[in-house]
A and B are shown apart, each in its own frame.
Chain A
Amino acid sequence: MEISIAPLNLLAIAPQIVVSVTALVVLLVGLFLPEEHRGRIAWPSLAGVLIAAGLLYYLWDRNDLTLSAMLRTDGYSLFLNLIILIAAALAILFSVDYAGRVRLPRTEYYSLLLLSTTGMMLMTAAVNLITLFLALEMLSIALYVLVGLNRAEQRSGEAAIKYLVLGAFSSGFLLYGMALVYGQVGSMALDDVRVHLLSTGSQSPVLLWLGLGLMLIGFGFKVALVPFHMWTPDVYQGAPTSVTAFMSAGTKVAGFAALGRVTLVAFSGLQNVWIWVLAVLAALTMTIGNLAALRQTNLKRMLAYSSIAHAGYVLVGLTAANRTGLDAVFFYLFIYAFMNTGAFAVLIAAHRLGSSPVAGENLDDLAGLAEHRPWLAAAMALLMFSLTGVPPLAGFLGKLYLFSAAVEAGLIWLAILGVLNSVVSAYYYLRVVVTMYMRDKKGAEVVPAPLCPALQLGIAVAAIATVFWGLWPASILNLVTITTRSFFGG
Chain B
Amino acid sequence: MIPASYYLILSAVLFTIGAVGLLIRRNALVILMSIEMMLNAANLTLVTYSRFLENIDGQVFALLVMAVAAAEVAVGLAIIVSFVRHRDTTDLDEINLLKG
- Residues of chain A whose beta carbon lies under 8 Å from any beta carbon of chain B: 129-130, 133-134, 137, 141, 144-145, 148, 151, 154-155, 157-162, 164-165, 168-169, 171-173, 175-176, 178-180, 182-183, 186-188, 233-234, 237-238, 296, 298, 301
Contacts and interface: CB of A to CB of B under 8 A. Distances in A.
A130 B57 contact: yes
A168 B97 contact: no
Given A160-B82, A161-B92, A172-B38, 12 more contacts: A133-B64, A145-B75, A155-B98, A164-B75, A164-B76, A172-B35, A176-B41, A179-B43, A183-B49, A183-B53, A238-B97, A238-B98
Contact of A175 (B42, B60, B82): B42
Nearest to B35: A168
A157 B42 contact: no
Nearest to A131: B64
Contacts of B19: 169, 172
A317 B60 CA distance: 35
Interface in B1-17: 8, 15
Given A130-B61, A171-B39, A172-B42, A155 B97 contact: yes
A43 B22 CA distance: 41
Interface in B50-100: 53, 55, 57-58, 60-61, 64-65, 68, 71-72, 75-76, 78-80, 82-83, 86-87, 92, 95, 97-100
Contacts of A169: 19, 22, 35, 38
Given A161-B95, A176-B45, A187 B35 contact: no
Given A130-B57, A183-B45, A175 B39 contact: yes
Contacts of B98: 155, 158-159, 162, 233-234, 237-238
B61 A296 contact: no
Given A175-B42, A176-B45, A182-B46, A130 B53 contact: no
Nearest to B98: A234
Contacts of B58: 179, 182
Contact of A137 (B35, B72, B76, B87): B72
Contacts, number: 124
Contacts of A188: 57, 61
Contact of B35 (A155, A165, A176): A165
Given A162-B95, A183-B49, A134 B64 contact: yes
Given A130-B57, A172-B39, A176-B42, A158 B75 contact: no
A425 B48 CA distance: 49
Contacts of B53: 183, 186
Contacts of A173: 38
Contact of A233 (B48, B49, B86, B100): B100
B45 A154 contact: no
B100 A182 contact: no
A183 B99 CA distance: 41
B91 to A, nearest CB: 11
A155 B8 CA distance: 41
A176 to B, nearest CB: 4
Closest 5 CB pairs of A and B: A172-B38, A183-B49, A179-B45, A234-B98, A175-B42
B38 A130 contact: no
Contact of A176 (B15, B48, B79, B100): B15
A237 B98 CA distance: 8
A172 B36 CA distance: 9
Given A157-B86, A161-B95, A238-B98, A172 B75 contact: no
A157 B64 contact: no
Contacts of A298: 100
Nearest to B28: A161
8 contacts: A133-B68, A161-B92, A162-B98, A164-B76, A165-B31, A171-B39, A173-B38, A182-B46
B23 to A, nearest CB: 9
B39 A161 contact: no
Nearest to A177: B42
A314 B10 CA distance: 38
A159 B87 CA distance: 14
B100 A301 contact: yes
Contacts of A159: 98
A186 B55 contact: yes
Contacts of B22: 165, 169
